[in-house]
Amino acid sequence: MSAAVATDQPLVEARAVTKTFGRNEVLKGINLSVQSGEVLCLLGPSGSGKSTFLRCINHLEKISGGELEVAGDLVGYRRVGDTLHELREKEVAAKRADIGMVFQRFNLFPHMTALENVMEAPVRVRKVKRSEAREEGLRLLTRVGLADRADHHPSQLSGGQQQRVAIARALAMNPRLMLFDEPTSALDPELVGEVLDVMRGLAESGMTMIVVTHEIGFAREAADKVAFMDGGVIVEYGPPEQVLGNPRHERTRAFLSKVL
């Protein structure tokens, strides 16, 4: 579990966030804050809105109502008086560079080696020198246990190894916040542990993380806070020992009885 740093200003703050797709209201007024250094795990059944909320945090999905802030800045918008103006895509991309995201699918460039995948964004987006990006890329691959796979292409790597490269790639941008969208759900069971071990290491290092996961053991061990979502709302929120060990809501208890 990370040593969360208490500050007055949350790193992530959601206020009455809603999201609709047509007539389908997926998020129904999410209020949530994450302090710098905290690990928050989002649990809940499929369709509860977890991944949609995660995607809203880096403006991959535009919120329909409410406000979302990361590091004190509105996500995707600028406030002028009482009016919100949507940022241009270039401005959104610049803000998004401070937020690392790891998806269910690894999305690695198949024609690039593991090291080249990790180097790509710093060189192209942050204009880092290739020599510096290479040195940092090798350091990050070592951190995720893949120093000996730097010159391998994704097709030569297992699913777990590809996901660890994806984590290293996200870390290469030196993000303030890491988002994980069910990062182990596409993996064979025997490969899940190696990815979770890397994520535990990140949590212990003080990285701020929001993790959508069905891995209850990871949430119990690594999270500072757990939020159980269902039907687009947060049903229960608190430390893992309370939400997972002594849930107050029947819906939470019913969900945990099926997944534990």
The 10 Å Cβ neighbour count of residue 212 is 24
pLDDT value at residue 1: 58
Residues 39-77: tens digit of each pLDDT = 999 999 999 999 999 999 999 999 999 999 999 888 888
Q: Give yes or no for a contact between 61 and 27, defined as CB atoms under 8 angstroms apart.
A: no
Residues 82-125: tens digit of each pLDDT = 777 888 888 888 888 899 999 999 999 999 999 999 999 999 98
Q: Please provide residue 21's backbone torsions phi and psi, each rounded to the nearest 5 degrees.
A: -115, 100
Nearest-CA neighbor of 27 among 259, 214, 222, 227?
A: 227
pLDDT value at residue 6: 46
Calpha distance 165→167 (Å, rounded): 5
Q: Give yes or no for a contact between 111 and 153, defined as CB atoms under 8 angstroms apart.
A: yes
Percent of the chain past pLDDT 90, that is, above it, reads 83
Category of 29 on φ-ψ map: left (φ > 0), alpha (ψ -120 to 50) or beta: left
